[in-house]
């Protein structure tokens, strides 16, 4: 199974208005007892990853992003926003599916 | 190094994956450079269709370039940069990697391997690539009574060794190290530790350094070069004991001399890891015995490769033989070329050791009466060249400090080229431009990059195909992407091939990685196009669009250039600059209120104490710049903490002007000659919050006793007798230590403020991103700076003053964000819900 494959039929969470996240930044959300970092890219698209850097626990939602990667603020490990793969040799992350509904709410899907 | 084998190196595609029958099981023990390279070669021959691959690695990582560990130690590379295959690579290739798992035993009859996680893994084909480990020569006191190596003693073999050494070397109490072993690795270790400011002595048992690679004369020249780096050298000395009961306090030498030290690095050679092979009943002499197909002697399905291997009596401890072995092994394992034979490697070393160019091949000196020995020695320049000729063929060479002829000599050595009548032509070029001749002499199929097997012709073709930069040609051919020791030669070949039309490698000069412009050209474009925001700059000038790693540098530059006309985009800032605090390792932030010139008041102290109490601040700490740091503040609490403090930000984060440290000065001090406190406060008031390419730490001392440590600050001011003030720039006392250069001596404090501001503005406009003044000042030169800043030699002084004034005028205390967040959720927590490692509370 490839890293960016999210099984369908997982749990769905509505996280509120997309405007909670400024363009080009990330914000962390508590979901289902865990923490998820949701990013709103400058082209308006959304990405979601686990909120904790696998290297030394850095807060990824505080990272700097572009259209491809997030760079952890603690030790500058980078992760592909779409696949969760580290581009700097850290462990990979598993991305979550995130989208927007008609009311412009963030919709996050966690795998089963 | 070139092998004697003659096998096609082209990557043939192997048998296509077929639907018929299950794939065979390939198990690889060892995930170092040899194991991973063997698997890469197998995959390149269609191995993925033939095998399901399982790898075991002792270390809990992907595969990394061990040769580069010395660069990690010296801080030239980060450890993340040396990974060859990250864990995702294995996943992508469908390889099962058991990282951090050790194989204990092979059952070669039932064809299973047993690992220390209790797993039993069957194989059809097995590859052993267990490598080697550091040799710990016998000496007293090496181990604690419990049997572990004494704290402070290090091997230099793995990434964990290296990380631990760096951490230990950066500990402030650790000032002195002894490196045991004056070979290649030992000198690299010494050089790396030296760059952390550690005093290092190298103890070497042979009579001269790098005794495996060169003779005594070359060793003597190398010794001079190494000593010039501030590294002590003791040759002909053997370490008999490590001193200290629970940690290292020194070593004892044979003959009774003791050398006190805080750490010991053992770099006294390597030993093949053969325990597993011995336990499993495989043939082991000095190492695991293999045939010309890299098959373990008398075993049909077991191969071995790398430093754990003995082939025709030879055991290699260098990387190139291992590349050559991996090719032959892969040809056999995949059935691509069953006639491939490995016949051994001729080893040549071509490296930069401790900053000194070293090349060595074949004999170190004459052995027969008829051998010719040509020697050139210029110890004061650290240059030494020695060539041994037998029967008009080159059989050995040593070059130190000047590697221009290395390419030609390596080829002459490998191929037995006819030599010039005048032997001196082997060592020097006459009447030809530098470098060109050496490269021109190379034949087309001479191998330039030994790691990736790139020939001169391949490089030349790349250049003629349009790769007119060194970086472009390297990217296109993979040349220079292995150990990197051939980079100089790659550059020479590219320059030669481009026939003078080579474009200067620009990447190194880019201000930020995403935009192919140096700082001055970038500033000119920004001005010309009237760009005012980071996103506009990306859109107009970045070929690949937005880039996370370029954002902070661009934001800083635009703010410097445009002051209040800058259109701030918060996502372009680093988190520190988004929330105006310094992010700490547990994701909390530290808050440092402004305390101009280090002066505070009862009211301030009381308020800080109240705030610390109210918010349960876990640690209150005085900073190096005379301020009070409240550590461990949660992001979501920052606005309330600032509001409760009701003091301006002290800028303990960010690449900006931070603080002015002062001494008491003349009001109280018996020696003070100038009012340093007053001047410090004035400087801090004027320049608060100014962005710069790196942080700026200043100081003012009231007399030459320098209690404020002004001589090691980015800008330091010292009051001297007669009411005059000295201004020093480019000092540092951090990771680098440098005494500042005297910029000017002036008569009054107003002039200090003008010149300091003018210097800072020039630095802001001219320095590279993240280039601190201690690098910038020596780069442009103090005379140049004096000309521009003091004498206005370029006529830009008024311009600099005006630009600085504009930045000063646009200052707003960022902590006012507390009442008016700039973005939604600016102070929303990003911490995970689990408990993080706590910042220790004393």
For residues B809 and B805, what is the distance between their CA atoms, to the nearest angstrom? Answer: 6
Residue B303 pLDDT greater than 70, yes or no: yes
E strand segments, B554-601? 582-583, 589-591
Would you call A50 helix, strand, or coil by DSSP? strand
Residues of B in contact with A3 (CB under 8 A): 88, 91
Residue located via tokens 């469908």:
B94
CA A45 vs CA A25, A26, A42, B553: distances in Å: 11, 12, 7, 25
User: A65 - beta bridge partners?
Assistant: A70
| Residue B168 near residue B263 (C-beta atoms within 8 A) | yes
Residue B834 pLDDT greater than 60, yes or no: no
Cβ <8 Å between A57 and B572: no
For residues B693 and B769, what is the distance between their CA atoms, to the nearest angstrom? Answer: 5
Q: How much of chain B exceeds pLDDT 70, in percent?
A: 93
For residues B632 and B618, what is the distance between their CA atoms, to the nearest angstrom? Answer: 6
Can you read off the two tokens belonging to residue A80?
A: 């592909």
Least confident of B23-37, B72-86, B548-562: B72-86
Can you read off the two tokens belonging to residue B99?
A: 């990282």
The pLDDT mean for chain B works out to: 88
CA distance B780 to chain A (A): 30
Which residues, including other chains, have CB under 8 Å from residue B744's CB and lie 6 or more apart? B726, B727, B755, B786, B789, B790
Of the candidates B611, B583, B564, which has an alpha carbon nearest to the alpha carbon of residue B811? B564
E strand segments, B215-355? 231-235, 239-243, 250-253, 258-260, 263-266, 270-272, 288-290, 302-304, 309-311, 345-346, 348-353
Proportion of chain A in helix, strand, coil states, percent, rounded to 5 = 5, 45, 50
Mean pLDDT of the B700-727 span:
93
Q: How much of chain B exceeds pLDDT 90, in percent?
A: 57
Q: What is the pLDDT of residue B325?
A: 95
Mean pLDDT of the B832-836 span:
51
Tens of pLDDT, residue by residue over B594-609, are 999 999 999 999 999 9
For residues B762 and B785, what is the distance between their CA atoms, to the nearest angstrom? Answer: 9
Tens of pLDDT, residue by residue over B206-259, are 999 998 888 898 999 999 999 988 899 999 999 999 999 888 999 999 988 999
Can you read off the two tokens belonging to residue B766?
A: 């001219």
Cβ <8 Å between B587 and A62: yes
CA A70 vs CA A42, A48, B203: distances in Å: 13, 11, 46
Tens of pLDDT, residue by residue over B165-204, are 999 988 878 889 999 999 988 999 999 998 888 999 999 9
Tens of pLDDT, residue by residue over B402-440, are 877 777 788 788 777 778 777 877 787 654 334 444 677
Residue B10 pLDDT greater than 70, yes or no: no
Residue B305 pLDDT greater than 90, yes or no: yes
Given pLDDT bands bounded at 50, 70 and 90, which one contains residue B446? confident
Cβ <8 Å between B833 and A33: yes
- Number of Cβ atoms within 10 Å of the Cβ of B568: 14
For residues B510 and B693, what is the distance between their CA atoms, to the nearest angstrom? Answer: 14
Residue B504 pLDDT greater than 90, yes or no: no
Can you read off the two tokens belonging to residue B215?
A: 């003779």
Residue B11 pLDDT greater than 50, yes or no: no
Residues of B in contact with A91 (CB under 8 A): 87
∠ at Cα B353 (B350, B358), nearest 5°?
40
Strands B103-107 and B112-115, bridge-based pairing? antiparallel
For residues B658 and B772, what is the distance between their CA atoms, to the nearest angstrom? Answer: 13
Which residues, including other chains, have CB under 8 Å from residue B318's CB and lie 6 or more apart? B1, B347, B349
Compare CB distances from A57 to B545, B578, B836 and report the shortest one's residue. Answer: B836
> Which alpha helices (H) appear in B507-574, and where do they start and end?
519-529, 534-541, 548-562
Of the candidates B132, B102, B134, which has an alpha carbon nearest to the alpha carbon of residue B119? B102
- Number of Cβ atoms within 10 Å of the Cβ of B38: 30
CA distance A9 to chain B (A): 25
Strands B125-128 and B302-304, bridge-based pairing? parallel
Residue B42 pLDDT greater than 70, yes or no: yes
For residues B342 and B292, what is the distance between their CA atoms, to the nearest angstrom? Answer: 5
Mean pLDDT of the A39-65 span:
94
Cβ <8 Å between A67 and B545: yes
For residues B56 and B317, what is the distance between their CA atoms, to the nearest angstrom? Answer: 21
Can you read off the two tokens belonging to residue A22?
A: 């400024």
CA distance B476 to chain A (A): 20
Compare CB distances from B546 to A28, A66, A86 and report the shortest one's residue. Answer: A66
CA distance B685 to chain A (A): 30
Residue B17 pLDDT greater than 60, yes or no: no
For residues B126 and B106, what is the distance between their CA atoms, to the nearest angstrom? Answer: 9
Can you read off the two tokens belonging to residue B606?
A: 């009381």
Cβ <8 Å between B80 and A62: no
| Residue A110 near residue A13 (C-beta atoms within 8 A) | yes
> Which alpha helices (H) appear in B767-842, and where do they start and end?
773-780, 782-785, 797-809
Q: Please name the helix (run of DSSP H) or strand (run of DSSP E) that holds residue B277, with its range, or none.
A: helix B275-279
Burial class (CB in 10 A: 0-12, 13-18, 19+), B581: buried
Compare CB distances from B832 to A21, A42, A51 and report the shortest one's residue. Answer: A51
Residue B111 pLDDT greater than 60, yes or no: yes
Cβ <8 Å between B831 and A89: no
Residues of A in contact with B91 (CB under 8 A): 3, 92
Burial class (CB in 10 A: 0-12, 13-18, 19+), A25: buried
| Residue B166 near residue B72 (C-beta atoms within 8 A) | yes
For residues B202 and B180, what is the distance between their CA atoms, to the nearest angstrom? Answer: 6
Residues of A in contact with B88 (CB under 8 A): 3, 85-86, 92
Would you call B500 helix, strand, or coil by DSSP? coil
Residues of A in contact with B99 (CB under 8 A): none
Mean pLDDT of the B798-822 span:
92
* Chain B residue at shortest CA distance from A27: B830
**B582-583, strands of its sheet edge to edge:** B582-583, B589-591, B628-633, B619-622
Task: Taking the CA atoms of B733, B739, B745 and B751 in sequence, report the sign of the dihedral they define.
Answer: negative
């Amino acid at each position: 199974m490839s890293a960016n494959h999210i099984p369908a039929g997982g749990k769905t969470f509505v996280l509120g208005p997309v405007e909670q996240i400024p363009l080009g930044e990330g914000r962390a959300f508590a979901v289902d007892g865990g923490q998820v970092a949701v990013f709103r890219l400058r082209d308006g698209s959304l990405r979601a990853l686990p909120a904790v850097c696998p290297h030394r626990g850095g807060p990824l939602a505080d990272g700097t992003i572009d259209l491809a990667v997030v760079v952890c603020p603690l030790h500058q490990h980078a992760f592909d926003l779409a696949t969760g793969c580290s581009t700097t040799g850290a462990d990979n992350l598993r991305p979550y599916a995130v989208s927007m509904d008609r009311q412009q709410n963030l919709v996050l899907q966690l795998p089963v | 190094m070139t092998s004697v084998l003659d096998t096609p190196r082209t990557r043939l595609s192997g048998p296509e994956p077929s639907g018929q029958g299950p794939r065979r099981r390939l198990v690889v023990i060892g995930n170092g450079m040899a194991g991973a390279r063997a698997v890469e070669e197998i995959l390149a021959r269609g191995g993925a269709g033939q095998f399901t691959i399982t790898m075991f690695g002792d270390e809990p990582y992907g595969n990394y370039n061990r040769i580069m560990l010395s660069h990690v130690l010296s801080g030239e590379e980060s450890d993340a940069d040396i990974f060859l295959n990250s864990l995702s690579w294995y996943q992508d290739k469908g390889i099962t990697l058991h990282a951090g798992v050790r194989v204990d035993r092979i059952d070669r009859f039932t064809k299973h391997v047993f690992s220390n996680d209790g797993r039993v893994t069957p194989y059809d084909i097995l590859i052993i690539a267990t490598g080697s480990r550091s040799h710990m020569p016998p000496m007293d006191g090496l181990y604690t009574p419990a049997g572990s190596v004494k704290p402070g003693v290090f091997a230099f073999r793995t990434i964990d060794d290296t990380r631990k050494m760096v951490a230990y070397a950066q500990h402030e109490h650790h000032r002195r190290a002894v490196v045991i072993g004056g070979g290649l690795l030992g000198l690299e270790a010494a050089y790396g530790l030296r760059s952390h400011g550690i005093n290092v002595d190298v103890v070497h048992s042979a009579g001269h350094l790098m005794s495996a690679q060169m003779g005594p004369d070359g060793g003597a020249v190398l010794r001079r070069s190494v000593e010039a780096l501030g590294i002590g050298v003791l040759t002909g000395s053997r370490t008999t004991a490590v001193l200290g009961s629970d940690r290292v306090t020194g070593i004892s030498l044979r003959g009774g001399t003791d050398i006190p030290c805080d750490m010991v690095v053992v770099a006294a050679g390597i030993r093949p890891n053969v325990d597993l092979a011995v336990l499993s009943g495989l043939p082991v002499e000095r190492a695991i015995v293999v045939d010309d197909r890299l098959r373990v002697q008398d075993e049909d399905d077991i191969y071995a490769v790398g430093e754990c291997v003995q082939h025709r009596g030879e055991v290699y401890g260098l990387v190139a033989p291992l590349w050559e072995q991996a090719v032959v092994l892969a040809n056999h394992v995949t059935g691509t070329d069953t006639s491939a034979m490995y016949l051994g490697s001729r080893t040549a070393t071509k490296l930069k050791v401790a900053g000194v160019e070293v090349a060595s091949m074949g004999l170190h000196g004459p052995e027969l009466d008829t051998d010719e020995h040509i020697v050139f020695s210029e110890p004061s320049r650290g240059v030494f060249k020695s060539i041994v000729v037998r029967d008009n063929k080159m059989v050995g060479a040593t070059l130190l400090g000047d590697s221009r002829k290395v390419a030609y000599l390596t080829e002459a050595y490998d191929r037995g080229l006819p030599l010039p009548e005048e032997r001196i032509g082997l060592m020097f070029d006459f009447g030809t431009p530098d470098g060109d001749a050496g490269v021109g002499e190379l034949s087309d199929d001479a191998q330039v990059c030994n790691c990736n097997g790139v020939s001169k012709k391949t490089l030349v073709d790349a250049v003629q195909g349009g790769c007119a930069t060194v970086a472009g040609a390297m990217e296109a051919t993979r040349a220079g992407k292995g150990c990197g020791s051939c980079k100089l030669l790659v550059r020479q070949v590219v320059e030669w091939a481009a026939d003078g039309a080579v474009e200067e490698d620009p990447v190194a000069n880019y201000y930020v990685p995403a935009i192919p412009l140096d700082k001055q050209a970038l500033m000119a474009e920004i001005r010309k196009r009237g760009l005012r925001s980071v996103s506009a700059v990306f859109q107009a000038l970045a070929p690949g669009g937005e880039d996370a790693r370029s954002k902070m540098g661009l934001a800083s530059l635009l703010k410097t250039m445009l002051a209040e006309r800058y259109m701030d985009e918060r996502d372009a800032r680093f988190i520190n600059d988004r929330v105006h605090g310094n992010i700490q390792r547990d994701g909390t932030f530290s808050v440092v209120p402004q305390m101009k010139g280090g002066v505070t008041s009862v009211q301030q102290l009381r308020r800080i104490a109240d705030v610390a109490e109210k918010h349960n601040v876990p640690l209150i700490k005085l900073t190096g710049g005379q301020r009070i740091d409240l550590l461990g503040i949660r992001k979501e609490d920052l606005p309330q903490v600032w509001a409760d403090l009701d003091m301006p930000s002290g800028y303990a984060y960010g690449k900006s002007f931070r603080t002015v440290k002062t001494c008491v000065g003349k009001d109280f001090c018996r020696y003070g000659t100038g009012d340093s406190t007053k001047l410090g406060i004035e400087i801090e008031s004027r320049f608060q919050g100014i962005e710069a390419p790196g942080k700026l730490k200043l100081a003012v001392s009231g007399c030459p006793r320098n209690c404020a440590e002004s001589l090691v600050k980015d800008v330091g001011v010292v009051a001297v007798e007669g009411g005059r003030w000295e201004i020093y720039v480019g000092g540092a006392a951090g990771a680098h230590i440098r005494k500042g250069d005297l910029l000017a001596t002036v008569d009054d404090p107003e002039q200090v403020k003008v010149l300091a501001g003018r210097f800072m503005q020039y630095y802001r406009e001219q320095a590279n991103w993240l280039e601190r003044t201690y690098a910038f000042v020596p780069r442009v030169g103090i005379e140049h700076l004096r000309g521009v800043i003091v004498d206005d030699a370029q006529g830009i002084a008024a311009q600099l003053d005006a630009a600085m004034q504009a930045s000063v005028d646009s200052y707003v205390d960022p902590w006012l964000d507390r009442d008016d967040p700039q973005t939604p959720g600016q102070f929303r927590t990003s911490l995970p819900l689990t408990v993080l490692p706590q910042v220790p509370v004393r």
